[in-house]
């Protein structure tokens, strides 16, 4: 245990870092970058390792066999029991099976930014209304703008013929059609030669460096500002000590357990892993004062992914090469956006001959993000976490909207368009959120508007687990923007100049 001598200078000298950030996804990379550029001594722990051929690292998997070979581990939770099957310590993907729910997340420096479509959507208005009153859309605007600038967010090329069809459909249905903002470098420029090659492998990973993933943007910015990064380090627990916190982690490269001490800790390991760290720390007695709201108000993000066979190729070859072309925003009964959905340029994974043959060129691929009730929960069963949730009615409405769009492309579906969500259906999600809700007090959530845990000054959370409402859009930009906000509050508390 570190014993404070009574002065801030002496306590700081006994610490390994001023701030330890856990995770390098949209929350962790953003927080580490802001803190390091403000002059704090930052240590970053990442459970995965470096990937990406563009940076001279291990190439990202592009075919089905390569994807299967990149599995890091399988987590099973059901009937009150949890088990984990480890496959490869240097793997890229981790699979969680909670009952009938399948979740997938990435373990790498840069997190899921390596293997997503780089879609950077702003959230619905309800997202901000659910947050504590100290955070408004106006207050958050500079954070969104800063992150969009850092990632080079811009809309890509689109099919004008397809756009005309979508405009007519949107006008008829009173939907809003927008270009898809993406963190992709579309054209080469001086100092940044890695332009998009239209290979259409965005969601399995860009090996040419055109996608502005966090390992190429905010992580290097943090390192350039003096941050220390340790990869292949899996955090197990966090415990208070005099003057700060001790982070216990397994160095998977050395095969030993180590600790880092810091005045502040920022947990941004991704929703499920952040919750697991907090639950384990509370079970050990270290964080006994964490709110009993831990694990409540969780969500799967109301993700929907579907494919439709249509008479002709929906997207021409010349724009077949990035994840999304256009997105449609659909209002709910209150007039606010209830969900968005967009087209994925097919085939989604052209590097896999098997998937390409199954999917084919005449496949319309659609993905949706809904505003669900966030009424699920994550619970601790003594050995691990379990996710419990209820089917969301918005899923049925997203499917109905997708069916309507598919009909515009000539799809002749056998199922009724207005089929509701079935209570027994299985779910697949890559965007779990909530469980560490941001609120005005400990009776309503786990962290305050600064992302600081109630009852634990200096312990912050800065990933999708702090969401108080679903964004009704891809969550990546909002995760990063909230992390930027939280990091700025830490900088202010530390008396440093903001970056």
Instruction: Specify the CATH number for the domain of residue 159.
Output: 3.50.50.60
Over range 260-271, report the average pLDDT.
97
DSSP letter, residue 80: T
Band (pLDDT 50/70/90 cuts) for residue 412 is: confident
Measured at the CA of 88, the angle between CA 248 and CA 280, to 5 degrees, comes to: 30
pLDDT greater than 60 at residue 379 = yes
Band (pLDDT 50/70/90 cuts) for residue 353 is: low
Q: Give domain status of residue 303, yes or no.
A: yes
Q: What DSSP string describes 276-341?
A: HHHHHHHHTTTTTTS-TTTTEEEE-TTEEEEEEE-SS-SS-GGG-SSSEEEEEEEE-TTSSEEEEE
Over range 86-104, report the average pLDDT.
85
Phi-psi region of 124 (alpha: psi -120 to 50; beta: other; left: phi over 0): beta
pLDDT at 457: 96
Of 307 and 274, the structure prediction assigns the larger pLDDT to 274
Helix (H) or strand (E) holding 77: strand 71-78
pLDDT at 4: 36
Q: Give domain status of residue 498, yes or no.
A: no
- Per 3-state DSSP, the chain is made up of helix, strand and coil in percentages (nearest 5) of 30, 30, 45
pLDDT greater than 50 at residue 6 = no
Q: What is the torsion angle, in degrees rounded to the nearest 10, for the CA atoms of residue 414, residue 415, residue 417 and residue 422?
A: -170
* Tokens, residue 260: 């880092």
Of 280 and 68, the structure prediction assigns the larger pLDDT to 280
pLDDT at 22: 98
pLDDT greater than 90 at residue 224 = yes
CB 202 within 8 A of CB 212: no
Q: Give domain status of residue 1, yes or no.
A: no
pLDDT greater than 50 at residue 392 = yes
Strands (E), 346-451: 363-370, 376-380, 385-388, 427-429, 433-434
Of 142 and 100, the structure prediction assigns the larger pLDDT to 142
Q: Give domain status of residue 2, yes or no.
A: no
The domain containing residue 451 runs over which residues?
8-493
Of 300 and 338, the structure prediction assigns the larger pLDDT to 338
The SS3 assignment for 33 reads helix
Lowest mean pLDDT among 219-223, 236-240, 332-336, 409-413: 409-413
Average predicted confidence (pLDDT) for the chain: 86
Of 360 and 226, the structure prediction assigns the larger pLDDT to 226
pLDDT at 317: 54
pLDDT greater than 50 at residue 425 = no
Alpha-carbon gap, residue 65 to 73, rounded angstroms: 16
Band (pLDDT 50/70/90 cuts) for residue 9 is: very low
* Tokens 């384990």 belong to residue: 280
Q: Give domain status of residue 3, yes or no.
A: no
* Tokens 């002749």 belong to residue: 412
pLDDT at 272: 92
Number of domains into which the chain is organized: 1
Instruction: Please name which of 309, 313, 279, 315 lies closest in space to residue 294, comparing C-alpha atoms.
Output: 279
Lowest mean pLDDT among 80-89, 144-153, 348-357: 348-357
Per-residue CA distances from 398 to 267, 297, 306, 324 (Å): 32, 22, 10, 17
pLDDT at 284: 93
pLDDT greater than 90 at residue 54 = no
Band (pLDDT 50/70/90 cuts) for residue 8 is: very low
Q: pLDDT of 440-484, one tens digit each?
A: 999 999 999 999 999 999 999 999 999 999 999 999 999 999 999
Over range 21-26, report the average pLDDT.
98
Per-residue CA distances from 71 to 45, 120, 188, 231, 322 (Å): 20, 26, 33, 17, 24
pLDDT at 193: 77
Q: pLDDT of 144-191, one tens digit each?
A: 999 999 999 998 877 777 788 888 889 989 999 998 899 999 888 877
Band (pLDDT 50/70/90 cuts) for residue 430 is: confident
Q: Give domain status of residue 95, yes or no.
A: yes
pLDDT greater than 60 at residue 32 = yes
pLDDT greater than 90 at residue 40 = yes
pLDDT greater than 80 at residue 332 = yes
pLDDT at 360: 61
Q: Give domain status of residue 499, yes or no.
A: no
pLDDT greater than 70 at residue 7 = no
Beta-carbon contacts of 50 under 8 Å, excluding residues fewer than 6 positions away, are 57, 58, 108, 109, 215, 231
Tell me the backbone φ, ψ of residue 289, rounded to 5 degrees.
-85, 0
Over range 183-208, report the average pLDDT.
83
**Predicted structure pTM score:** 0.92
Beta-carbon contacts of 395 under 8 Å, excluding residues fewer than 6 positions away, are 302, 304, 370, 421, 425
pLDDT at 2: 36
Band (pLDDT 50/70/90 cuts) for residue 346 is: low
Most confident segment among 97-111, 154-168, 283-297, 331-345: 283-297
């Amino acid at each position: 245990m570190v014993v404070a001598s009574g002065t801030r200078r002496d306590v700081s000298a006994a610490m390994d870092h001023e701030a330890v950030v856990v995770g390098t996804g949209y929350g962790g990379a953003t927080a580490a970058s802001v803190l390091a550029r403000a002059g704090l001594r930052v240590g970053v722990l990442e459970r995965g390792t470096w990937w990406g051929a563009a940076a001279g690292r291990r190439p990202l998997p592009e075919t089905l066999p390569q994807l299967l070979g990149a599995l890091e581990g399988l987590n099973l939770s059901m009937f009150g029991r949890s088990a984990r099957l480890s496959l490869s310590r240097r793997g890229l993907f981790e699979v969680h099976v909670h009952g009938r729910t399948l979740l997938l997340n990435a373990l790498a420096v840069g997190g899921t930014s390596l293997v997503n479509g780089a879609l950077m959507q702003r959230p619905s208005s309800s997202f901000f209304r659910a947050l504590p009153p100290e955070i408004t859309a106006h207050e958050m605007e500079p954070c969104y703008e800063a992150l969009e600038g850092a990632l080079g967010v811009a809309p890509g090329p689109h099919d004008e013929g397809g756009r005309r069809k979508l405009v007519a459909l949107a006008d008829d249905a009173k939907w809003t059609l927008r270009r898809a903002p993406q963190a992709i470098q579309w054209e080469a420029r001086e100092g940044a030669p890695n332009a998009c090659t239209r290979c259409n492998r965005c969601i399995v990973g860009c090996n040419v460096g055109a996608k502005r993933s966090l390992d190429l943007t905010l992580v290097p910015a943090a390192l350039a500002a003096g941050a220390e990064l340790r990869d292949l380090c899996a955090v197990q627990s966090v415990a208070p000590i005099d003057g700060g916190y001790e982070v216990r982690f397994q160095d998977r490269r050395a095969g030993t357990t180590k600790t880092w001490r810091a005045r502040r800790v920022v947990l941004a390991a991704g929703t499920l892993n952040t919750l697991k760290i907090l639950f384990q720390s509370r079970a050990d007695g270290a964080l006994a004062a964490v709110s009993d709201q831990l694990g409540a108000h969780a969500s799967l993000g109301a993700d929907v992914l579907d494919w439709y066979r249509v008479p002709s190729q929906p997207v021409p070859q010349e724009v077949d090469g990035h994840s999304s072309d256009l997105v449609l925003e659909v209002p709910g009964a209150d007039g606010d956006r209830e969900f968005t959905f967009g087209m994925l340029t097919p085939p989604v994974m052209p590097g896999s001959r098997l998937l390409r043959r199954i999917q084919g060129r005449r496949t319309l691929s659609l993905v949706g993000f809904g505003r669900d009730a966030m009424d699920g929960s994550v619970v601790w069963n003594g050995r691990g976490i379990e996710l419990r949730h209820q089917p969301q009615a918005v899923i049925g409405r997203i499917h109905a909207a997708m069916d309507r769009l598919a009909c515009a492309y000539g799809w002749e579906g056998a199922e009724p368009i207005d089929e509701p969500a079935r209570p027994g259906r299985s779910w697949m999600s890559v965007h779990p959120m909530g469980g560490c809700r941001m609120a005005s007090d400990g009776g309503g959530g786990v962290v305050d508007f600064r992302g600081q845990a109630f009852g634990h000054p200096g312990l912050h959370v800065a990933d999708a687990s702090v969401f108080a409402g679903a964004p009704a859009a891809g969550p990546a930009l909002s995760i990063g923007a909230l992390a930027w906000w939280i990091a700025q509050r830490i900088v202010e508390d530390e008396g440093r100049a903001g970056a």
